[in-house]
Chains A and B, each alone.
Chain A
Amino acid sequence: MENKLREIRERVLQNIEDARASGNLEQIRVGILGKKGELTGLLRGMGKLPPEERPRMGQLVNDVRAALEARLEERAAELREKEKQARLEAEAIDVTLPGPERSAGTLHPMNIALRKMVEIFVGMGYEAVEGPEVEFDHYNFELLNIPKNHPARDAQDTFYIDDNIVLRTHTSPVQARIMTTRKPPIRVICPGRVYRADEADATHSPVFHQMEGLVIDENITMGDLKGTLDEFARQMFGEGIRTRFRPSFFPFTEPSAEVDLTCANCRGEGCRMCKGTGWIEVLGAGMVNPRVLEMCGIDSTKYSGFAFGMGVERMALLKYNIPNLRYLYENDLRFLTQYR
């Protein structure tokens, strides 16, 4: 009996060792320890032994049983781990394979630039408002000190609907509308579409966008205008970008200035983009002409203010290195999909 036990123990341990899958171990377990298993059979046969041998032999059988069970458990864990590893290995995928195609979508680059511009001024306490694109001559010109038959109208080739209604040539009429309906302090920006009777080319478009800014308060100076535009330049184009003011003339501002920005391409060193000057002309600005204030019903002895108008497409061209204004109105998906 003892020999038999030893034989079983050695054989089964060997079988366990030879097992290659966790399923095989179950068969082995059932074959030895199951209801009809060899060891279970031996235990049943104990009755035939003399009573004095029974405790010792029972102990021996139980020892073998415990050893085999422990080994089975151990081996099963080993095999499960091995099988898991094999499965994980088999599950490896080609991570470089592209996912299902899905286009991202973007705003138009003009609007990307405009959003940024609006955000900068909203952060400085400006209210962004809109006004009509088809506008009365009165707001587009007359309240801005550009009377009928004034040559200053030549600078802005105008589309007319009738004698008194035009497609606005700038966003400045929104200024006039604000000034005639509100009391200072006023701090607004007016983004929107404007129209000029220019044929489309690399730098002109009959439809484009502007963003107007207007501040009316007590003690506003030209220095405040410069400070404001310097801050805009820094946020829009980065540190080190400054403004340069040059004297100019607009009927609705006095003094007036053409404003240049440090060329963002060469940082002022002079390059092809800025024609070697280090500066790029970007916008017009000035102190609101007291006449305009008076025409709009604001006391020019108490209040002063500044105004500026910038071309949004121009900003987009500079910011995103777009070589030709026409790209913005051709809606070529090969162009539009380049933006984020």
Chain B
Amino acid sequence: MKVPMKWLKEYVDVNMTAEAYASRMVMTGTGVEGVEKTGAQFDNVVVGYVVSCVDHPNSDHLHICMVDVGQTEPIQIICGAPNVHAGMRVAAALDGAHLPGGKIKKGKMRGEVSMGMLCSGPELDVPAGLYPHIGDEGIIEIFEDVAPGTDVKEVFGLGDDIIDYEILANRPDCLSVWGLARESSAVLEEHFVMPEIAVEETGKGTFDDYAKVIVEDDTLCPRYCARVITGVKIGPSPRWMREYLYGAGVRPINNIVDITNFVMLETGHPMHAFDLSKVKDQTIVVRRAKPGEKLTTLDGKEHVLDESMLVIADNENATGLAGIMGGEESEIVSDTASVLFECAAFERANNRVTARTLGIRTESSGRFEKGVCAETTMEALERACMLVNMLECGSVVPGAYDHYPHPAEPKSIDASVARICRRIGVDVPGETMEDILNRLYIDTTLVGDDKLHCEIPAFRMDMETEADVSEEVLRMYGYDHIPSTLMNAVTMPGYRSEKIVFADRVKDALVGMGLYEVLNYSFISPRWIEKLNLPADDPRRNAVTLRNPLGEDTSVMRTSLVPSMLNTVAANLNRGITAGRLFELSKVFVPAEKAGELPEEKAALCVGCFGEDVDFYTVKNIVVWLLAKFGVTAAIEAAGDGYYHPGRKAVMTADGVQIAALGEIHPDVAEAFDISRRVYVAEIDLDALMPMEKDFYGVKPLPKFPAVTRDIAVVVAEKVGAGSMMDLIRKTAAKTLEDVKLFDIYRGDKLGLGVKSVAYSITLRAPDRTLTDEEINATMDKVLKALNQQFGAELRT
């Protein structure tokens, strides 16, 4: 909320710079976004007097003007405005002036020297509302008798300091000049002087002679106040009011509308003015909308309403949305002669829901949803009438309508000085607390040593409990008094949960293998899942969907980390990075089976590798090593999802559970992600891996007897897996096997087509004796026989 310093100073003394004031407010809890000055959009523009004005010889519309700008000699300025003429006062931007459109420099226009520019309203970004002589066309004419050379800001009423407050959600009372003046007075220990409210009722008859108000819903409209003004003369409001409104960022319009805006800013109460003659039967009904009822608001939009919404209506139709926006028919126009002022309180939550549902947000609705104090509604209305008296723009009719069936009960809080001190950790004497609270207009008495009896004023709707009182005390006493202590409490063990520890160990293992961790959004585009070409019934197609996503690209929660990884790879390739080894450890989301339940969140890991130096086995080794770190050995078989290369994919299982899938990405899928190179991906199910971790049982005794190594080479069909044969060797020779290594694979003409020779080095050892040749030969025979039976392998000779 923006407030001109001058306006604030009407009610409280601020004897310091705007910046110093702002910092005092910030340190006591009233946010200040910044301090600015009105008219900061231009400088170096002065009042000029046009001494002479002749046509430019080389132009059909330019004029050569000699302008007195308060210097020793008049200066020549070329001007194209049709309304320029000798003997007028103008706003002259001098050489070097800064205007919203740029810097003014002296120069030549069609051969004639121009030392500046004569300005229009839009060129200075000064609206007609602020300075009425600013027309729609042509340059500004200044009618006041001011000396040439005077800064035009003085003429327009610009140059005041504007404080831009950032009011917290719990202090709607500070969304007003009076509220801020009151708060400032407490902070600065100055007096807050509110004007005395006295209305002169000069109109004929009484309220009831002119209008009728019916409030049908006390819950949604706890208070409704109205007054009638007759003999209205619409015109511009006085300069001081226009200045204040402009400074607060509100466009001045006419006296009646300006009064409603002025009162809203000053008191915090949104007001509405009806042209009474346009209100059918001069009757205002505050009621819930009928189902399907239609209403066109001031902005020309038609809305379809429902029964939850509160409307302002005449005897038949809704004419406005209560507290949100008025209707077109009863708008104040230049010949409005009688006015009904409305100042009401509407229920917060309902107001908010209606505004949200209809997609309307106005200054008024924003205030009602934050909370407007029903207790001071009449006061605000009286202030408006007082301003009508002051501006002499109409006669206030005696009597007011005031519907307030359930006045708010006065609130009080009893607080303990000792408990407050314990809470805030600062010893503040009871008398000091009493003084601070009284400064805040919380009528407080210290009873005995410890009890503070606080009468809460109506405008402090946020104050409910002792904790609230403690905050008031502390912020005024000063947060800088809070000591820095470490708690005096029982010792507790600090540790990370098992899941966090596990995830950290996985990450450390991968980092150790040279991988870089990446982070991607948890929500993706459903089209990215599409690109994986999953079968129609694949569960990964069923994702948790956001109701209000920022866009389609971020609209469903990930069911797989693969699409994000492929996008990351593509982005890096696009940046000219030709190789990389990446991983992401994050959650995937499986929709709940029952509506209304939370989805399952599973810890997932995705590895992505690309570049000349990686292949399938790079990724396979990453997975194998990672599993080995947790004591898990997994069986591998050629299988997997369709988004992998059909001949280069595998799944790994341990204890009968699929724990990983890996492979080269299918070229069609890669292409769908704009990747033209080979990419290798592995997916590891961390939730499955975590419980599989084997405990370490201790070391085996070191060998006492020698080992024997025998090499064999067998010829098998190409399709037989070398790793599968290894598994069989391990199984067959299990009793005495120490190690088996594959050391050669050979294919060649001598062997024939479709076969390969695979050579293994087999190391045998017994823990309790030296193996004999007979034993060794028997084992090797058994191995060869098994290889032959299962895979058709023949010993290569």
Contact = CB atoms under 8 A, between A and B. Distances in A.
Interface of A: 102-108, 110-111, 115, 118, 121-130, 132-136, 148-152, 154-155, 159-162, 164-165, 167, 185, 187, 191, 193, 195, 197, 199, 206-207, 215, 217-228, 230-231, 244-249, 251, 254-257, 287, 289-291, 304, 328-334, 336-337
B494 A222 contact: no
Given A167-B546, A223-B482, A107 B494 contact: no
B519 A331 contact: yes
B238 to A, nearest CB: 35
Interface stretch (B270-278, B496-504, B749-757): B496-504
Contacts of B352: 149, 151
Interface string B585-622: 01101000001101101000000000000000000000
29 contacts: A105-B511, A105-B512, A105-B514, A107-B517, A108-B516, A108-B519, A124-B494, A130-B499, A133-B589, A159-B546, A162-B595, A164-B596, A165-B598, A193-B522, A215-B489, A219-B422, A221-B485, A223-B426, A223-B485, A226-B485, A244-B480, A246-B479, A254-B467, A331-B582, A332-B575, A333-B572, A333-B575, A333-B582, A336-B516
A247 B516 contact: no
Interface string B542-564: 00111111100010010000000
Contact of B29 (A199, A246, A291): A246
Interface class of chain A by DSSP: mixed
A134 B596 contact: no
Contacts of B547: 159-162
Contacts of A287: 423-424, 467, 470
Interface string B502-514: 0010010011111
Contacts of B580: 333
A121 B550 contact: no
Given A219-B489, A222-B423, A223-B483, 11 more contacts: A106-B517, A107-B511, A135-B598, A187-B494, A224-B425, A245-B482, A247-B479, A251-B170, A254-B467, A290-B465, A333-B580
B484 interface: yes
Contacts of B314: none
B168 interface: yes
A29 to B, nearest CB: 41
B496 A103 contact: no
A151 B511 contact: no
A199 B553 CA distance: 12
Contact of B467 (A165, A290, A329, A336): A290
B490 A103 contact: no
B566 to A, nearest CB: 12
Contacts of A159: 546-549
Contacts of B475: 247, 255
Nearest to B465: A290
Nearest to B479: A245
Contact of A122 (B369, B422, B496, B571): B496
B678 to A, nearest CB: 17
Contacts of A148: 349
Given A121-B494, A148-B349, A304-B422, A254 B487 contact: no
Nearest to B572: A333
Contacts of A133: 522, 587, 589, 601
A251 B465 CA distance: 13
Nearest to B512: A105
Contact of A331 (B424, B518, B523, B549): B518
Q: State the 8 A-B residue pairs at the shortest beta-carbon distance, nearest first.
A: A223-B425, A247-B29, A221-B425, A255-B471, A149-B349, A249-B168, A247-B475, A254-B467
A243 to B, nearest CB: 8
A102 B548 CA distance: 45
A227 B486 contact: yes
B548 A160 contact: yes
B353 A149 contact: yes
B540 interface: no
B520 interface: yes
B482 A128 contact: no
Most chain A CB within a 10 A radius of its CB, from B487, B554, B572: B487
Nearest to A277: B23
B465 A248 contact: no
Contacts of A225: 425
Contacts of A224: 425, 485-487
B448 interface: no
Contacts of A136: 598
Contact of A334 (B169, B520, B577): B577
Given A161-B545, A336-B516, A227 B489 contact: no
B423 A132 contact: no
A248 B168 CA distance: 7
A230 B483 CA distance: 10
A154 B356 CA distance: 11
B474 interface: yes
Given A124-B494, A291-B465, A332-B572, A115 B516 contact: no
Contact of A161 (B491, B492, B500, B544): B544
B511 A220 contact: no
B696 interface: no
Contacts of A329: 519-521
A246 B480 CA distance: 8
A185 to B, nearest CB: 6
B492 A107 contact: no
Given A149-B353, A185-B492, A220 B554 contact: no
Contact of A155 (B169, B349, B424, B545): B169
Nearest to B568: A331
Interface in B1-51: 26-29
B519 A328 contact: yes
A241 B352 CA distance: 43
Contact of B489 (A106, A218, A246, A251): A218
B466 to A, nearest CB: 8
A197 B492 contact: no
Interface in B514-545: 514-523, 544-545
Contacts of B489: 185, 215, 217-220
B424 A255 contact: yes
Contacts of B27: 246-247
B495 interface: yes
B797 interface: no
A185 B494 CA distance: 13
